[in-house]
Chain A
C-alpha cells in the first residue's frame, strides 16, 4: 500500500469493512465493534493526511484502474472534497461509539447487519466527496440513499412506513438528478464533470442545458430536504434507530449541500448558475428565506426532542442553500463553514438525544424534566450544542452565521438576513424551552426548597465520551474558524468568486 493513493483507500476501507463486518459478525458479534471502529479510525487518519496533502500540493486527480478520463472513472480531491472527506470520516467515527452502544440494545443480534449497511453508507458518502464523474455521483447517491432506507427501516414502530415514504421521495429525487445528467450526456456526450464543463462553454444558451440544471437542482433539493421538499425527513429521522440517526442526521443533508456546490462549480460554473438566468438567483435566496422561516415555525410546534431537531435540520438546509445562492464570497464561505459546523452541532445534539433516550426511553418533552440533575454531563454538552444552534459565540454556529449574515447584507438580501435572525431567535425559544423543562423539577416538587436527592444516572461512557468530544469540537472549531476559513475554505472557493 503506497501512501500516494491514500484517498482511494479511504473509500475502500469502509467498503471492505462492510463485507468483513457482515461475514465475521455472523461468526461472533465481538468482531463488529473493533472492525467498524478500526476501519473508520483508519479512514479518519487517512483523511487528515489527504487534507494536509491537498492543502500543500493542490488538487489531486486519480484515475481508477488507470483509465484515462473522460473514459475512465476519475476521482478528484480538491480542498473542499478533502475537507468533506475529513468531516465525513471524523463525524462517522465519533458517532459510531455511541451507535455501537445503542444498537446493542435496540437491535440485539442484528448488529452485524446494521453495521454492514452503516459502513456501506459511509463508503457511499466518502465516494460522493471524491467523485469527479456526474454519473458516478448518481450511483453513489443511490448507494447512500438505499442504505439509509434500510437503516431507517430497522427502527421500531412506524419506521418501515417512514422509510417507505422516504423511498418514494428519494427515488423521485434520484430520477430528477438522473434525468438532468441524461440531458447533459445528450448535450456533451460525456459524463466526466471537468469534460462536461469544458464542452458546455459554448452551449450556455440552449434550453436543454437550463432543463438539465433545473432537474439536477431539484433532484438534489429533494435529497437534501430543502423546504417544501422536506416532508420525508422529520418522520424518517425520528423513527430511525438512534444508532443510525446519530450518523445520518449530521451527514446526509450536509453532503447533499456539498454536492450542490460541487455541481455548480464543477459542471455548470458559477457564472452560468448564478447570473445566466436573471431572477433565479434572487428567487432561490427568497425561497431559502421562506424555507428557514417555515421550518423554524414548524419546529416550534413539535413536542418531541428528536422531531424538533429534525425540523431544525430542515431550517439549516435553508441557511446553506441561501448562503450558496447569495452568489458572493461571504455567503459561500458561510455556507461551507456551516456545512462543517452544522454537521458538528447536529452530531452533538443527536448524540445527546441518543444518550437521553438510552436512559429515559423517551424524548417527549415531559420525560425531560429534571434532566440537569440526572444527566449533568449529557445536558452540559447538549447545552453547548444548543448555544451553537442559537449562534452564541464562541461556539462554532455563531461564526458560520456571521458569514451568512454578512453575505446577505453584502447582497442586500434583507429577507434572507431577517429570516436568519428570526430563525436564531426561534432556536433560542426552542432550546430554552428544553433547557427550562430539564432545569426545573417536576410539577409537585416545584417549590424549590426540597432537598430530594436525585440519583445521577449518566449514559454509558461509550455514549458520553463522543458527546463531550463533539461539544468540545464546537468550541474548538469556533475559536479556530479564522484559520479554518483562511486555510481551507478560501482555497475551496474558486478564484474570482
Chain B
C-alpha cells in the first residue's frame, strides 16, 4: 500500500486540540464558545472525509512527527482501519457537540468551559489513536485520552464523582502502565519495532507461552475495552454528564480500547499467528464470559445509564470476539460492530439524557408511561435498541450476522450459542424499557403535565443518529469497503 506524506492526519488531530485555546478564552460568551466547538467538529470531519476517497482507492497518508526511540517514531498514518474508526468518531462528535449544548444549557450545568475544552482534547486523542502508525504513538494518545476524560467523569465534583474518578483512573491508568507498557516493551525487545504491519510482526519471534502472556497483557491492559475483570470503571463513569457517557463511554473511549486490541491482534500478532497457536479460540472463549455476564448484570440494573453501560461492556466484547475468530466473516463482523454499535448506543444514551433533561428521572422503574409524553425520544430509543439487539432492518443486524456466519464457518457452535443467547438477553433488557414507556400506566398521583420532549438541541441529534442506524442497514457500503481494505488489502 502506498502512503503519501501529508499534513492532513496531523491537521485532523491538531484542529480540536488547538480549538481548546479559543474555547477557554471565550468562556464568558457561551455562544461564541460553542461556535468554536462546532467549527472544530465540522472542520475535523471535513478533513477526515477528504482523506476517505484515497483510502478507499487503496492509498493512505503518513506523517512522522519525531523520532523518539530508535525504530519507533511518533508517527501518524491513515489506513483503512484507522479511517473506519476516525470516520465514525468524528461524525458522531458533531452530533454530540450539538447535543451537549442542549443538555448542558437545559440543566444549567457549571464549568461548561472546562467541559467543552476537555471534550475537544478527548476527541483529538481519539482521532490520534485512530491514526497512530505504531504502538508507541497509540499508547501516547491512549494516555492523553485517559487523562483528558478525568475532568469530564468528575464533572459533578461531589463525593460520588470523586470516588468514580478514582476508580476510573485506577482501572484505566493502572492497566495501561502496569500491563500495556511492559507488554509493549517486551514486543519492542523481541522485534525491534512497534510498527503496525499487516500480518503482524511477532511471528516466529517468541515462544507460544510468551505470546499467550503478551496477548493476555494487551487484552486486559487496554481496559478501556471493558473486558472483564477490568470493566468496573465503566458503570462508575456513568456519574458523568450524559453527553460524556454517550460519546466517550459509548463511542470514543471504549472503542479506543477495542480499536487498540484489534490493532494489536491484526497488526502486531497477525491473524495467522493467532490461528496457528489457537490463541484466537482462547480469546473468543475469554471474551464470551464478558458478553454473557455483562448482559445478565444489565438485566438487574434499574438505573438506565448503568444498564446501558453494562450493555456496552457486553457489546464491546463482540468486537474482540469477531477478531478472535480469525475468519473473514468473523473479523468483518467484529470491526463492523464498532460502527454499528456506536450509532446505536449513542442514540440510546442521547435518549437517556433527553429523558433526564425532560423529567429528571434516572431509574427505569420511574419511567412508566413516559413514552407517551416523549414519543420521538422513545421511537429513537426503540431503533437504537433494535440495532444493538441485532434485528433487521437496522445496522446492528449486519455486524451480528457476520459474526454468526463467522462462528458457523469456524465450527464453533459454542460461540453461535453465545451470540444467540446474548441477543436474547439484549432484547430482555431493552424491551421492558420501551414497553413500560409506551404502554405502562403512569404512576398515580404524580404531576406530569410539565413533561414534554427535550429541547431541540437534544432531540435533533438523537433523531439523526437513530435514522443513521436505520440507514446503515441499507447503505453500509463505505464501511464495508473500509473493512475489506483493512483486513484483506
Which residues of A does B touch, CB under 8 Å? Answer: 387, 390-394, 399, 402, 405-406, 409-410, 417, 421, 424-425, 428, 432, 436, 439-441, 446-451, 478-483, 485-486
Contacts and interface: CB of A to CB of B under 8 A. Distances in A.
A377 to B, nearest CB: 12
19 contacts: A390-B173, A405-B181, A406-B189, A409-B189, A410-B189, A421-B178, A421-B182, A424-B177, A425-B178, A428-B174, A428-B177, A432-B166, A432-B169, A436-B166, A439-B151, A446-B158, A448-B155, A482-B68, A482-B69
Contacts of A399: 68-69
B185 A428 contact: no
B160 to A, nearest CB: 10
Interface string B108-132: 0010000000000000000000000
A1 to B, nearest CB: 38
A473 B296 CA distance: 50
A405 B185 contact: yes
Contacts of A439: 151, 154, 157
A406 B182 CA distance: 9
Contacts of A447: 158
| List of 3 A-B pairs having minimum Cβ-Cβ separation, nearest first | A448-B157, A482-B67, A393-B140
User: Which of A406, A441, A451, A482 has the largest number of chain B CB atoms within 10 A?
Assistant: A482
B55 to A, nearest CB: 26
Contacts of A482: 66-70, 73
Contacts of A485: 70
A402 B66 contact: no
B157 A446 contact: yes
A166 to B, nearest CB: 34
B370 to A, nearest CB: 25
Nearest to B190: A409
A483 B143 contact: no
Contacts of B198: none
B177 A421 contact: yes
Per DSSP, chain A at the interface is helix
Interface in B366-418: none
B363 interface: no
Interface residues of B, number: 36
A78 B304 CA distance: 66
Given A394-B74, A425-B177, 19 more contacts: A391-B181, A392-B143, A393-B143, A405-B182, A406-B189, A409-B182, A409-B186, A417-B182, A421-B178, A424-B181, A428-B173, A428-B174, A432-B166, A440-B162, A446-B159, A448-B157, A450-B110, A481-B68, A486-B70
Interface of B: 65-70, 73-74, 110, 136, 139-140, 143, 147, 151, 154-159, 161-162, 165-166, 169, 173-174, 177-178, 181-182, 185-186, 188-189
Given A402-B185, A436-B162, A481-B68, A394 B177 contact: no
Contacts of A486: 70
Contacts of B110: 448-451
Nearest to A481: B68
A335 B182 CA distance: 18
Nearest to A478: B68
Contact of A421 (B136, B161, B173, B181): B181
Contacts of B157: 439-441, 446, 448
A391 B159 contact: no
User: Which of B68, B70, B140, B174 has the largest number of chain A CB atoms within 10 A?
Assistant: B68
Contacts of B166: 432, 436
A332 to B, nearest CB: 15
A436 B165 contact: yes
Contacts of B169: 428, 432
A449 B241 CA distance: 13
B191 to A, nearest CB: 13
A421 B177 CA distance: 7
A192 B158 CA distance: 64
B151 A479 contact: no
Nearest to A490: B70
B68 A479 contact: yes
Nearest to A409: B189
User: Which of B74, B136, B185 has the largest number of chain A CB atoms within 10 A?
Assistant: B185
A448 B159 CA distance: 10
A93 B365 CA distance: 65
A482 B70 CA distance: 7
A465 B159 CA distance: 35
Contact of A387 (B139, B147, B174): B147
Contacts of A483: 67
A28 B389 CA distance: 81
Contact of A448 (B65, B139, B151, B158): B158
A179 B174 CA distance: 46
User: Which of A406, A424, A449 has the largest number of chain B CB atoms within 10 A?
Assistant: A449
